Structure 1
Amino acid sequence: MVQFTQAFAAALLATSAVAHPGGNVNKEILRRQAHLDHPERRSVQSCKRDLVSSGWVREQHIRREARLHELRVAAGFAKPGDLVRRNVADVEEEYGANAACTLDPEATEGPYWVTGELIRQDVLNGEKGAITHLDINVIDTSGCKPVTDAFVELWGTNATGVYTGVQAKGNGDGSASSLPSNALRGIQATGANGTASFITLIPGHYVGRTNHLHTIIHHGAKKLENNTIQGGTISHVGQFYVEQNFLGQVEKTSPYSTNHQAVTTNAQDMLYNMAKQGGDDPNLKISLIGNKIEDGLYATIDVGVNPRARQNPQPVNMWTKDGGKPVPGSPWAGYPDTCLYCGFRPPGVIRRAFGFE
C-alpha cells in the first residue's frame, strides 16, 4: 500500500492551499498523515479474504446489478428479463484493489455541516441536475463485516455549487436565500447488508474545491420522533468524489453549465490528492441508467470504518422547522473571515517533525 510521505505532506503544508474559500487545509493534511501512519489502520483491501469467503462480495455484486437493472426498467431503458450478469468470480478477484477506507477522518467536515438533518432517502427537494441513486456500503474493517446499525449522513452542494441551510461569503451570492432549505442533506440507516441508500445529485463546483459530497458515519444514535437522530458517536468524516473525465461531461449539462465559478479540477484539489493516498479510492463508481447523464445515474462506494474510532466534527448550523440556525459557539461561525477554524498553524512539535523549525 502506497504511503502518504512526510515529504508530500510538507509540500502540501507549504502551499497553504484552501479547503473552501478562505479556509486552510493544513489541519486536514496532518489528520490524513496521522491516519495513514496509524498502527491499527486497516483497509477494505485487508478484509478482502473475509468479505469474499463470507459471500458478502458476491451478494453485493448481485444486489447492485439487480438495482441498476431495476432503475433501468423503471426509466424505460430495459425490460425485466434483459438482465445479463457479470461473472461473479471476476468481481471477487478485483474486489478491494481500490476502495475507500478510513480509521481517522479522511477530510474536514468543512464550514457547511448542518446538524439535525432528517432521516430520508430522497434529498432532492426539487433541485435539478444529474440525479444520482447512491448506495454507500459501510464495512467494519476491525471485524471485516458490514456495519448494519449505523446512520450515514450525506450532504453536498446543488448543481451551481451552493450549500443549503447556511449563509457564508463564497456560498453562492453570500445571501440568506439558502437558509430556509435543507435540500441535498439527509441521513439514512444502514441495512442488513451494511448499505445506506440516497437519491441526490452530483454536486457542483465552487471556488477552491473540486466537486465533492460530504459524509459522516454515526454509531449508536437514537432515532427521534421528529425523524432526526441524537447521541451516539462518530467514527468517520469523509468526502466522495467523481472521476474527472466523467465530471467534465456532467459539467456540460444543465444547470451545471450555468455555474460560472472558477473550476478546480481533482488534480488541483489538495484534499482530493490526500484522499487518493494510501491505496484509497474516494471516487464514486458510476453507471448510466439510460443513454445519457440526464437519464439518471447509479453510484456506489464502499467505506471502511472502525466503529470504535471517535471523531468530533463541529457543525456551523442546526436544522430547525424555520431553517438553518447558528450553533452557539461553533468554531465555523463567521467563516471565512473570523471563525476559529478559518486557518491553522501546526503545533511546534509538528512543525519540527516536518522540518519547519
Structure 2
Amino acid sequence: MTGNQGPAHKRSMTRRKVVVAGGAAVAVASVGGGVAVTAFAGEPGAGSTASATAAETCYKLTSETTEGPYYIDADKIRKDITEDKEGIPLTLALKVIDSETCKPVKNAAVDIWHCDALGIYSGYESLSAGAGGAPTDAPSGTPADVPSGSPTGEPPSGAPSGGTGGGGHEEPTDDERYLRGTWKTDRSGHVTFRTVFPGWYRGRCVHIHVKVHVDGEWTEAGYEGGHTCHTGQFFFAEAAVLASAEVAPYSANTTERTTLTEDTIYDQSGTTGGLLKLTYDRKHIARGVRGSITVGVDPDATHDGQDAPPQPSASATPSASAS
C-alpha cells in the first residue's frame, strides 16, 4: 500500500480558530449533509446538532498513534466490512482534510480495522485476546524454567523501547478478514463505513484503527503506491461503551475492561485524539450507532505508525501489546 514515499516538507503547525459557544471551544464540521457540534475534549453527547452559517473550522492535526500488530495492507476494498459478525450496527462517517489548508483530501485510501464484540481480530484469531482475556492458543500450566535475576547487556536490535509500543507487526495466522476494509474519500473528503460497534480486550479501551494513504493510484486491483500520511485510532465515549455492554453479544465478554481515561494510547485530547462524536438512542443502543469525526492530516508527511510516541506497558500479558 505505502509504495514510494516522497519527502515531507515543513509546514506551519499553527492552531486554527474554533467557534466558542457557551464558554466552551467546539469544532463545527459538516458531516453527511448536517452540521455537528462536538467538544474538542470530554465525552460528546448522544448526537447534539445545530445549524451554523460560518465556514467549516479547520482542525489541527489529528494525533498519530501506533499501528499495532494486526494490520493487513488493503486486503479488502469495500465500505461494508461487517461480513457475518454480530453486534450493534455502526455507521462510521469520516471526513479527511488538510489541516493546514482546510481543504478536503479527495481520492485518499482510508483503511479501518477493529476487533469484534468479543475482542477477536480477523486474521489473528489465535493471537487475539478474546473474551477470556488471553490468546486462544495460550499454553497452560507454569513454566519450569523461568529465568531469575535481572537481564544484563544491551537489548536485541530492533526491540521496541518505552513500553509495548504496540508490539511489532504480526503475520496473519488465518484467512478471516471480517471488520477490515479500505475505501476512497470523495471530492469532499468524505468516506463512510458500515460495521459493528467494537468490543474490548485486556489492556485497551474500545477503539478502531485507521490509516490514510495519499498520492497513490486506484486501479482495478485496488490502491497502489503513494504513502501513509496518517496512522491513528478512533475512540468511544464511556457512556456508549457501558450501554453496549448490556447488549448481546457484548454482554458475554467477561474480560476486565480498560476505560477511556485508563488507556495508554488515547491521549485524552478529545476530538484531536480521535474521540468520535456518537449519535444513538440512549435507551435502545442496539438499534444502531453513528460515529463521526473530521480527521486533520498533513498529506506531505509520512506517518506509518512507526513514529508514534511510545506508550507505557499496560500489562505483561500478550494481549496488552495487541494495540
Shorter-chain TM-score range: 0.5 to 0.7
- Tell me how far 1:300 sits from its aligned partner: 0.8
Q: 1:100 to 1:289 in 2, by over 3 A?
A: farther
Is 1:271 the counterpart of 2:265 in the alignment? yes
Of residues 61, 64, 70, the one that matches 2:34 is: 64
Q: 1:138 to 1:46 in 2, by over 3 A?
A: farther
Write the distance in 2 (CA, Å) between the matches of 1:106 and 1:156: 17
Alignment gaps of 5+ in structure 1: 1-37, 49-56, 67-84, 315-335, 343-357
Of residues 86, 89, 92, the one that matches 1:128 is: 86
Is 1:296 the counterpart of 2:288 in the alignment? yes
CA contact (8 A) 2:110 2:185 kept: yes
- Tell me how far 1:171 sits from its aligned partner: 3.3
Counterpart of 1:229 in 2: which secondary structure? strand
1:111 is matched with 69
1:218 is matched with 213
Write the distance in 2 (CA, Å) between the matches of 1:140 and 1:264: 32
Is 1:138 the counterpart of 2:96 in the alignment? yes
Write the distance in 1 (CA, Å) between the matches of 2:182 and 2:268: 23
- Tell me how far 1:286 sits from its aligned partner: 1.3
2:241 is matched with 247
Is 1:205 the counterpart of 2:200 in the alignment? yes
**CA offsets, 1:135-170, max 9 Å, x none?**
110010121111112111101000111100125544
CA contact (8 A) 1:153 1:215 kept: yes
- The one-letter amino acid of 1:254's match is A
Quick one: higher RCO (CA 8 Å, sep 6+), 1 or 2? 2
2:184 is matched with 189
Alignment gaps of 5+ in structure 2: 1-9, 20-27, 37-47, 138-170, 307-316
**Taking structure 1 as the reference length, what is the TM-score of the superposition?**
0.60
Counterpart of 2:300 in 1: which secondary structure? coil
Q: 1:160 to 1:194 in 2, by over 3 A?
A: same
Counterpart of 1:101 in 2: which secondary structure? coil
Q: Looking at secondary structure, tell me which structure has more strand per residue.
A: 2
Of residues 97, 101, 104, the one that matches 2:61 is: 101
- Tell me how far 1:250 sits from its aligned partner: 1.0
Of residues 229, 233, 250, the one that matches 1:256 is: 250
**Taking structure 2 as the reference length, what is the TM-score of the superposition?**
0.66
CA RMSD of aligned residues (A): 3.4
Corresponding residue pairs, total: 245
- The one-letter amino acid of 2:298's match is N
CA contact (8 A) 1:100 1:302 kept: no
- Tell me how far 1:283 sits from its aligned partner: 1.5
- State the percentage of identical aligned residues: 29
Counterpart of 1:304 in 2: which secondary structure? strand
1:307 is matched with 299
Write the distance in 1 (CA, Å) between the matches of 2:281 and 2:174: 32
Counterpart of 1:246 in 2: which secondary structure? helix
Is 1:174 the counterpart of 2:146 in the alignment? no
Write the distance in 2 (CA, Å) between the matches of 1:145 and 1:179: 40
Counterpart of 2:261 in 1: which secondary structure? helix
Q: 1:187 to 1:100 in 2, by over 3 A?
A: farther
